[in-house]
Chains A and B, each alone.
Chain A
Amino acid sequence: MTNVLLQYATVFVLSVFVGIEIISKVPSILHTPLMSGSNAIHGVILVGSMLILGAANTNAEEVLGFLAVILATLNVVGGFVVTDRMLEMFKPRTPRAKPGDKAEASDGAKGADS
């Protein structure tokens, strides 16, 4: 095992823990945007696609690299646009109490028995 590989492995292992730590705090109402948002983030493969096409020496590499750039662009652009479209629709109610106080607040405002 080389030092370089060990360095990548370290980054990998730490990223696993960061990923789990961050995600475990996402409320279920945001699970769909989360799936879509993380979908956009793995679109970073576009950077890899650019590098392989930029290094291509043969026709085979050029064709495969070109395809990779197209697919990766679809992934990254589509992912971010869809996620934004979803999130722009999440709107809070105009000024009101915290969700936790909801029952008391609306009881007080409207009268519980109608």
Chain B
Amino acid sequence: MSRGTLIDLLYLVAALTFILALKGLGSPKRARLGNVVAAAGMLLAIVATFFNRVDGHSLHHVPLILLGMAVGLVVAVPTARFVQMTAMPQLVAIFNGVGGGAACLVSLTEFIHIKSTKPATYVVLEVLLGVLIGTVSFSGSAIAFAKLQELMTGRPITYAGQQVINALVGLAALAVIVIALVTSSTALLWVLLAVAFVLGIAFVLPIGGADVPVLISLLNSFTGLAVAASGFTLGSNLLIVAGTLVGASGTLLTMLMSKAMGRSLPNILFSAFGSVVTAGTGPGAEQRTVRSGSPEDVAVMLGFASRVVFIPGYGLAVAQAQNVLRELAEILEKKGVEVFYAIHPVAGRMPGHMNVLLAEANVPYDDLIEMDEANSELESADVAIVVGANDTVNPAAVNDPGSPIYGMPIIHADAAENVIFMKRSMRPGFAGIDNELLYSPKTTLVFGDAKDTLTKIVAAVKAS
């Protein structure tokens, strides 16, 4: 077997491990193994590449390649290891963005390399698409990162004529591609790079709040497609397979996420959701009466309960109260109370994010139940405790056709006998909408930091 064939065979093995990894992610038991298998496959592909040949010679600049890898390693490992779990969405955004940037650079550099050979039109098209998609993913992810990291406002940024301007930038990108194909001009590649950079920013600016995670998922699939495009240019099946797998899965995941929010993808991407609504919930809403209680009141209520449902949201993680919540659950279980956690698919800031945050606090995943099951269980629950969640339990999604979240599936906390709502203030949630459930006669509000409140409840329950 020739060296080239052997390397291609190893690439095939690597592609296979990627497919197996994605399949492994289908079950919590096999997911971690799947990830390790993919990492091993990746390592195999990288090592094999050192022995690959380009333009009939073995790889030049090997020390430079190793140096680049060392720089990447030194930066990536500590970042990935030590960043807080709550910061996961922006971390995924930034790792995705650099991937898009790399894909763009690969297409660009390959074009510089082969341009003297007068490449066929379809090759130029592949390069242009790789540059366009990779750059949009790069600059878009950078803005998404800035929004989530609160380097800039997380709210949608809108201005007059925005959609027209965005459409024009998009059309400009297409026009540059067409002209570049017809004239085979290299200079236009740099123009495309600039236009695509602006397009990524313009595209992401009007998307804010709870929609940013959906956006990241979409940008993830963009990077996949950019990688596939460079795969076409370089003639690498491995890049095509891996990039396309991610492109397809990312698109599907994006649609699942939109569905969980009861909205269509175009609506999320182009409607600047929440910008008007925030202004609408003014002081009028805050003058309505709510019933508030102390942690001790809650402990008494829990003393009479036989079935308690926790409905956690991102606020729980902000307060770093996951461990106290688990402690409360364990104490209640010892007292014979049935406890489980109702998880909304978009609780936290990414789908499944809440599961990660609770897993970090050693909550066994069998205790986490998904929305549909939770809703049938809630009808027989004595107490529903909402901690740091808001939009995911807002009945306006069911009752108020005028509400921007109308149609989003929610956890029906209001179906339980009593609802306890832990909040820092009367401020509306991530989506910026007022919540009718706060004013329900069933509801007891406990104001204050979720961690403090829960700690007090734990003490009161222990004492009783």
Partner-B contacts on A (CB < 8 A): 1-2, 4-5, 8, 11-12, 15-20, 22-58, 60-62, 64-94, 96, 99, 102-103, 106-107, 110-114
Contact = CB atoms under 8 A, between A and B. Distances in A.
Task: Give the interface SS of chain B, mostly helix, strand, loop or mixed.
Answer: helix
Nearest to A64: B109
B345 to A, nearest CB: 5
A79 B73 CA distance: 11
B364 A92 contact: yes
B249 A39 contact: no
Contact of A111 (B49, B72, B245, B336): B336
A39 B92 contact: yes
A110 B338 contact: yes
A2 B234 CA distance: 15
Nearest to B29: A92
Interface residues of B, number: 127
Contacts of B83: 82
B365 A81 contact: no
Interface stretch (B61-69, B158-166, B266-274, B394-402): B61-69
Interface in B71-86: 71-73, 75-77, 79-81, 83, 85
Given A44-B227, A67-B68, 4 more contacts: A23-B248, A34-B352, A41-B245, A51-B52
Contacts of B368: 29
Task: Give the interface SS of chain A, mostly helix, strand, loop or mixed.
Answer: helix
13 contacts: A20-B248, A26-B22, A26-B25, A27-B26, A32-B348, A38-B245, A44-B14, A60-B109, A64-B112, A69-B64, A71-B102, A84-B36, A96-B366
B68 A86 contact: no
Given A15-B248, A46-B102, A82-B92, A87 B69 contact: no
B253 A31 contact: yes
B150 interface: no
Interface in B236-253: 236-250, 252-253
Contact of B61 (A20, A42, A56): A56
B88 A82 contact: yes
Nearest to A46: B46
A8 B55 CA distance: 20
Given A28-B256, A50-B50, A81-B80, A8 B231 contact: yes
B256 A31 contact: yes
A106 B94 CA distance: 43
Given A42-B224, A69-B65, A33 B31 contact: yes
